Amino acid sequence: MNEIPSRLADVRRRIAAAAVAAGRAAEDVQLLAVSKTKPVEDILAAWSGGQRRFGENYLQDALPKIHALSAYPIEWHYIGRLQGNKTAEVAGNFAWVHSLDQLRHALRLDRQRPPELPPLMVCIQVNLSGETSKGGVSADALPELVAAVSELPGLRLRGLMTMPDPTYPGDRTRATFRRLHQLLSELRQSGRPLDTLSMGMSADLELAIAEGATIVRIGTDVFGPRGTH
Ligand SMILES: *Cc1c(COP(=O)(O)O)cnc(C)c1O
């Protein structure tokens, strides 16, 4: 028996409950189902449960699945680290990128976005925990990157993304989400038309929604645990 549709329904209920608890509408929070490492059959099981947006972060793993599912109008989101020599495949196969953190990658994605496709929707990843191993621009460098990316016609900057240090206790995780929201508000006040806060995973989606998440990225609680990758 495939448990993915019922897991998906559980996650949707959690999202709706968290939104209502925060005084928000359930429709204001989108579920991105993170299907990294999971097979096409699992994606189709989620599809049959009504899911249309899927997130991947290993390009080698994602591309065969995207091609196998090309008959389905799935919205693919790239959430992994960008590499300079692989940006063309991201620009050609995804609708969204959540993990932009370098201008040189933005310039390549802009140039490589196929003209017949709509602009690539983009979130800039912000590193608010100072972990050097992790992607993301610093809060200090953010306004300059926002200004540069906003000029690129092949990209449409939608908002910000962050991943708190997974070792943080809940209060620090929540403070990190609050800080990302504050950064978005500052950019909006300076005239940037941004509407997206991509934050919250299986373990912390309630905290993220309480702090204003508009997209939560959920893998484990939709598809079950991943093997090591
Ligand atoms: C894997 C991953 C997720 C989903 O994590 P879960 O804890 O399995 O829900 C979300 N965002 C990014 C960037 C990821 O790599």
β-sheet bridge partners, residue 126: 137
Cβ contacts of 92 within 8 Å, gap of 6 or more: 112, 113, 114, 117
Q: Is pLDDT at 153 greater than 70 in this prediction?
A: yes
% of the chain exceeding 70 in pLDDT: 99
Q: Are strands 96-100 and 53-56 parallel, antiparallel or unpaired?
A: unpaired
Q: Specify the ligand 1 atom closest to the Cα of 202.
A: 9
Q: Specify the ligand 1 atom closest to the Cα of 201.
A: 9
As given in the structure block, the two tokens for residue 222 are 């939709």
Instruction: Find out whether the beta carbon of 43 lies less than 6 Å from any atom of ligand 1.
Output: no
Write out pLDDT tens, residues 160-184.
999 999 999 999 999 999 999 999 9
Residue 8 CA, ligand 1 centroid: distance in Å: 15
DSSP-derived secondary structure letter, 118: P
Q: Say which range, 47-51, 97-101, 134-138, 171-175, has the weakest mean pLDDT.
A: 134-138
Letter for the amino acid at 175? Answer: A
What integer pLDDT is reported at residue 229 of this predicted model? 47
Q: Is pLDDT at 13 greater than 70 in this prediction?
A: yes
Inter-helix orientation angle 170-189/142-150, to 10°: 50
β-sheet bridge partners, residue 30: 215
pTM above 0.95, yes or no: yes
Taking residues 22-47, what's their average pLDDT?
A: 97
Q: Ligand 1, atom 10: nearest CA belongs to which residue?
A: 217
Ligand 1 binding pocket mutation candidate from 31, 58, 217, 226 (most atoms within 8 A of CB):
217
Instruction: Find out whether the beta carbon of 79 lies less than 6 Å from any atom of ligand 1.
Output: yes
What integer pLDDT is reported at residue 210 of this predicted model? 98
Taking residues 149-168, what's their average pLDDT?
A: 96
Residue 7 CA, ligand 1 centroid: distance in Å: 16
* 134 confidence band (pLDDT: 50, 70, 90): confident
* 227 confidence band (pLDDT: 50, 70, 90): confident
CA distances from residue 143 to 80, 107, 140, 224 in whole angstroms, order as listed: 22, 17, 7, 37
Are 28 and 210 within 8 A, CB to CB?
Answer: no
